[in-house]
Chains A and B, each alone.
Chain A
Amino acid sequence: MDHDPQFQKSRRGFLGGLGATAAGLSLAQAGAARAQAKPDPAITEIQDWNRYLGDGVAANPYGKPSKFEKGVVRRDVEWLTASRESSVNFTPLHALDGIITPNGLCFERHHGGSPEIDPSKHRLMINGLVDKPLVFTMDDLKRFPGRVNKVFFLECAANGGMEWKGAQLNGCQFTHGMVHNVMYTGLPLKVLLDEAGVKTNGKWVMPEGADSSAMTRSIPIEKAMQDCLVVWGMNGEALRQEQGYPLRIVVPGWEGNMWVKWLRRLEVGDQPWHHREETSKYTDLLADGRSRRFTWIMDAKSVVTSPSPQAPLKHKGPNVLSGLAWSGRGTIRRVDVTIDGGKNWQTARIDGPVLPMSLTRFYVDFNWDGREMLIQSRAMDDTGYVQPTKDELRKVRGLNSIYHNNGIQTWLVRSNGETENVEIS
């Protein structure tokens, strides 16, 4: 993956090209370590944590992040919605690294609040065009052969939806935070459908939630059989309540709304249902007044998470630019980064697992001389899709689409390190 020869080459290309296209980020700045006049009291004074005993083992039966990380939390935008039970909050992407999103920081989107479901009373029903309608308990599912573990991103189709008309929110948590990346544990949907026996005229599958919105979506049978999962585990533990405990469906690469949480039923039918979340919502209104429907796939997208408005640059000299790229069509092949608003681009270094339909982490190690920068990133996937600019997207879709905004994000880094969400020509 990472050893793709083409990638190796472009990685070297970046270092080579640095001097030519990004003269201000000179390597010469990274010279000798700075001299220190007075001894550092953090070293010369004995600290409390060095003298006194720390917490015992039972202090936190379920461990929590350090109190110094208390700002790293999901946040919501109050004016967006009328009620918190039908609302959304955002993953703090600017403060995270690697590719896996910690369970407690995965963004939430509910349509009728997050229900507390007793797993001993939870059932999964399969009905409709099947040979034998079935009911499973959670125990039945956990005894079922064929369990798998797979990493996938989940992105809400409305991620970036507030930015269609122009830059609105200052922070990649708010502009891009309706995405998370998790390793799921469960069963391929196919094995459960096979157990019920899908009739030959069964062409669509409708997952339904047990919550007060009883969420429903129509999924074509090919996708259901190909790679959808029915899962009870995330990142090694049970699903969190707000992520669908005790059971949810995983629809890799497709918009998050289809990943029905608190999954209680799968119906097989011969036509799509055209329910509220695939008509009134999650359809893309274009400039001519017509609308695309069944726009399930999340196209390739990327964002620089640091520097970003909530993670400004604090130091000149060596710095690490970092970001995320993903594609619902497959695997990220390359990410390019510009610091001059798209005049010149360099290929970023990808690190960590490079998996299909998963967040992929990229870095550019650079030296900053305090110049103003217009930073963007551009993702490419293995189908050859190249993340478009926002203006290229608007040209095709107009300004009223709400959903599927995968346009290139621009951050303006000012000479004092402050970083802003901007749009450029």
Chain B
Amino acid sequence: MSKFRKAAGLALFAALVTAPALAGKVGLGREALPEEVAAWDIDVRPDGAGLPPGKGSVGDGEQLYLQQCASCHGEFGEGAGRWPVLVGGQGSLKSEGPEKTIGSFWPYASTTFDYIKRAMPYGNARSLSDDDVYAITAFLLNQNGIVKDDFVLSKENFSKVKLPNEQSFYDDDREKAERHFWQKDPCMKNCKPDAKVTGRARMVDVTPEDGKSIKVE
């Protein structure tokens, strides 16, 4: 390669790597259309942002729930078999077997609406109308003792619904509450007098055995 052609080649490469940037933008991708954003942006926040227009009553919700949800979550939200429990559990959070439901644990009602709309019924997501989701949410709130039997939930009154456990949540404070886990020199020698076995997985005996319950992809 002549000196000249080599220089020309380098110049071309330099031009390639400093592609014309439009106001610092790469220029890949295209603008999303409003219809496209609307199709995917269905998320709802505690302040009600994202709620679609619509409404639904506890009574309508009960019918829908019995048809579409009760087979897994139980007629009263008690959970059939090992499927999730949606109702009850109030007062259980400090016990040995806490039951975390919409009524006992969830901080915000908006989460119920958002989750049912995006992911339920399990295996048939996005099949419910917005009015259906309002109605089923109203029914689950009613079963958890949060709204009355004749309640009609709507975009307008949604943010007035408060769940009892909201104030029990606080931001991660491990760096303060667990400050003592940061140590300079952990003990290396004669750290304790004794080490005795106090519990054995074998006594519980729930480990899957070889050959059983193997899932080969």
Chain B residues with CB under 8 A of A128? 41
Report the bound CA distance from A104 to B217 in whole Å.
Answer: 8
Interface string of B163-195 (1 = CB under 8 A from A): 000001111111001100111101111111111
Beta-carbon contact of A169 and B206 below 8 Å? yes
Stretch of B7-15, B29-37, B53-61, B134-142 that contacts chain A: B29-37
Complex: chain A residue closest to B123, CB-CB: A212
Stretch of B42-50, B143-151, B153-161 that contacts chain A: B42-50
Interface string of B56-79 (1 = CB under 8 A from A): 000000000000000010000000
Please give the distance in Å from A139's CB to the nearest CB on chain B: 9
Of A75, A242, A275, the contact of B111 (CB 8 Å cutoff):
A275
Q: Given the known A-B contacts A292-B171, A345-B188, are A421 and B200 also in contact in the complex, defined by CB atoms under 8 Å? A: yes
Interface string of A277-300 (1 = CB under 8 A from B): 001100101011111111111010
Please give the distance in Å from B80's CB to the nearest CB on chain A: 9
Beta-carbon contact of B217 and A74 below 8 Å? yes
Q: B201 at interface (Cβ–Cβ under 8 A)? A: yes
Please give the distance in Å from B102's CB to the nearest CB on chain A: 8
Q: Of residues A74, A280, A293, A384, which shows the largest number of chain B Cβ atoms within 10 Å of its Cβ?
A: A280
Interface string of A64-106 (1 = CB under 8 A from B): 0000000101111111011111100100000000000000100
Stretch of A52-60, A140-148, A178-186, A224-232 that contacts chain B: A140-148
Q: B1 at interface (Cβ–Cβ under 8 A)? A: no
Count of A-B contacts with CB under 8 A?
Answer: 260
Beta-carbon contact of A336 and B186 below 8 Å? yes
Q: B132 at interface (Cβ–Cβ under 8 A)? A: no
Beta-carbon contact of B31 and A76 below 8 Å? no
Beta-carbon contact of A423 and B198 below 8 Å? yes
Chain A residues with CB under 8 A of B24? 194
Beta-carbon contact of A343 and B195 below 8 Å? yes
Of A212, A276, A386, the contact of B186 (CB 8 Å cutoff):
A386
Chain B residues with CB under 8 A of A378? 186
Beta-carbon contact of A342 and B189 below 8 Å? no
Beta-carbon contact of B28 and A384 below 8 Å? no
Report the bound CA distance from A180 to B81 in whole Å.
Answer: 31
Of A145, A242, A344, the contact of B26 (CB 8 Å cutoff):
A145
Report the bound CA distance from A325 to B32 in whole Å.
Answer: 43
Interface string of A32-76 (1 = CB under 8 A from B): 000000000000000000000000000000000000000101111
Beta-carbon contact of B206 and A81 below 8 Å? no
Chain A residues with CB under 8 A of B6? none
Interface string of B200-213 (1 = CB under 8 A from A): 11101011101001
**8 A Cβ contacts from B86-130 to A:** 93-94, 96, 98, 100, 102, 105-108, 110-111, 114-115, 118-119, 122-123, 125
Beta-carbon contact of A77 and B213 below 8 Å? yes
Report the bound CA distance from A216 to B198 in whole Å.
Answer: 41
Q: A208 at interface (Cβ–Cβ under 8 A)? A: yes
Beta-carbon contact of A21 and B197 below 8 Å? no
Beta-carbon contact of B195 and A342 below 8 Å? yes
Chain B residues with CB under 8 A of A274? 45-46, 107-108, 110-111
Q: For the complex, count residues of A whose C-beta is within 8 A of B.
A: 104
Q: A355 at interface (Cβ–Cβ under 8 A)? A: no
Chain B residues with CB under 8 A of A346? 188
Q: Given the known A-B contacts A264-B40, A294-B172, A378-B186, are A71 and B210 also in contact in the complex, defined by CB atoms under 8 Å? A: yes
Report the bound CA distance from A331 to B1 in whole Å.
Answer: 48
Beta-carbon contact of B174 and A425 below 8 Å? no
Report the bound CA distance from A412 to B83 in whole Å.
Answer: 35
Chain A residues with CB under 8 A of B32? 125-127, 133-135
Stretch of A244-252, A265-273, A313-321, A361-369 that contacts chain B: A265-273
Beta-carbon contact of A386 and B197 below 8 Å? no
Of B82, B119, B213, the contact of A212 (CB 8 Å cutoff):
B119
Interface string of A340-373 (1 = CB under 8 A from B): 1111111000000000000000000000000000
Complex: chain A residue closest to B97, CB-CB: A400
Chain A residues with CB under 8 A of B198? 422-425
Beta-carbon contact of B98 and A285 below 8 Å? yes
Please give the distance in Å from B201's CB to the nearest CB on chain A: 4
Report the bound CA distance from A156 to B177 in whole Å.
Answer: 22
Of B43, B111, B194, B216, the contact of A279 (CB 8 Å cutoff):
B111
A-B contact pairs, 24 of them (CB 8 A): A74-B217, A75-B213, A76-B213, A82-B72, A84-B215, A127-B37, A133-B32, A145-B26, A168-B207, A195-B26, A214-B118, A274-B46, A274-B110, A276-B111, A288-B94, A292-B170, A293-B172, A294-B172, A309-B207, A342-B191, A343-B193, A345-B188, A421-B200, A423-B198
For the complex of A and B, the 6 pairs showing the least CB-CB separation, nearest first, are: A341-B195, A82-B82, A421-B201, A423-B199, A133-B32, A167-B201
New A-B pairs, 10, CB < 8 Å, besides A280-B102, A295-B172, A299-B181: A73-B215, A83-B122, A112-B125, A127-B32, A127-B41, A273-B43, A274-B46, A276-B115, A400-B93, A421-B200
